[in-house]
Amino acid sequence: MVIEGVPRVFIYAVLAAATLLAALEVTVARGSASAPKADTTWTSPERDMDQAIGRDDVASAVTARNEAYRAAIASRRWEGFLAAGDAILRLGDMTQSRSTAEPEARRLYLSALFRAHGQQSLDGVLLATEAFSRLGDRDVVEQGLRMARDLAGSDPEAQARVRLVEDRSSRSAAAGGAGRQGL
C-alpha cells in the first residue's frame, strides 16, 4: 500500500530503519546477562481497556491502553507488543479512527515480530506475521514467513504450522483481509 504523495523510496527507508532498530534491540537483548522472564503485566490493563470499551468509556480505555503499552515495553516480550498492537486497533475501532491506529499497531507488531524471532519463538513470529496479514502488509508477511521457515528448520510439525499461516495469509490477501485466527 502506497500513501498518496509519499514516495515509495521513503516508505522503504522508514521500513528499513525500523527493521534495523528492531534488530539492534534483539542484539542488545541477547547480550544481556539475564534472559527476560515471562511477564504478562500488560494483561490487566488490557482487560481494563476492553471493559472500558464495553462501557463506551473512551477516556478510561485510552488510559488503560497506555498502561498496557508501558507494561509491554517493560516486559521486553513479543507477547506484550503483539497484545498492545491488537489493543490499539480495538481502541481505533471504538473511536472510529482505525486508520490513525494502524501505523502505531504496525510499529508494535514489527517489534513483536523481531522480538519473537530474537527469542526463537515460532509461535510469536507466526502470530505477528498473521497480524501483518490482517493489516494487508504483504511485504512484512513475506519477511515473517521467511523468519518462521528459518525457525521451523527441518521439524515437519513446525513446517506444517508455517504452511498453515502462509495459506491463511494468501487467502486473506486474496479476500482483502480477514479476522484473527489462532494457530
Domain regions of the chain by residue span: 40-175
Q: Give exposure, 154-173, as e/b (b: 16+ Cβ within 10 Å).
A: eeeebeebbeebbebbeebe
Those residues with Cβ within 8 angstroms of residue 63's Cβ, 6 or more apart along the chain or in another chain:
52
Q: Which three cell numbers stand for residue 151?
A: 525457525
Phi and psi torsions of 31, nearest 5°: -80, -10
The Cβ of residue 180 has, within 10 Å, a number of other Cβ atoms equal to 11
How far is the C-alpha of 51 from the C-alpha of 62, rounded, in Å?
Answer: 12
* C-alpha–C-alpha distance, residues 61 and 53, integer Å: 6
CATH architecture classification, 40-175: Alpha Horseshoe (1.25)
Helix (H) / strand (E) element for 76: namely: none
Encoded amino acid at 67, one letter: E
Give the Cα separation of 34 and 1 in Å (integer): 40
For every one of its 183 residues, what pLDDT tens digit does the chain have, with 9 covering 90 and above? Answer: 445 555 666 566 555 555 555 555 555 554 444 444 445 677 777 888 888 888 988 888 888 888 888 888 888 889 999 998 998 898 888 888 899 999 999 999 999 999 999 999 999 999 999 999 999 999 999 999 999 999 999 999 999 999 999 999 888 777 764 444 444
pLDDT in tens, 43-73: 777 888 888 888 988 888 888 888 888 888 8
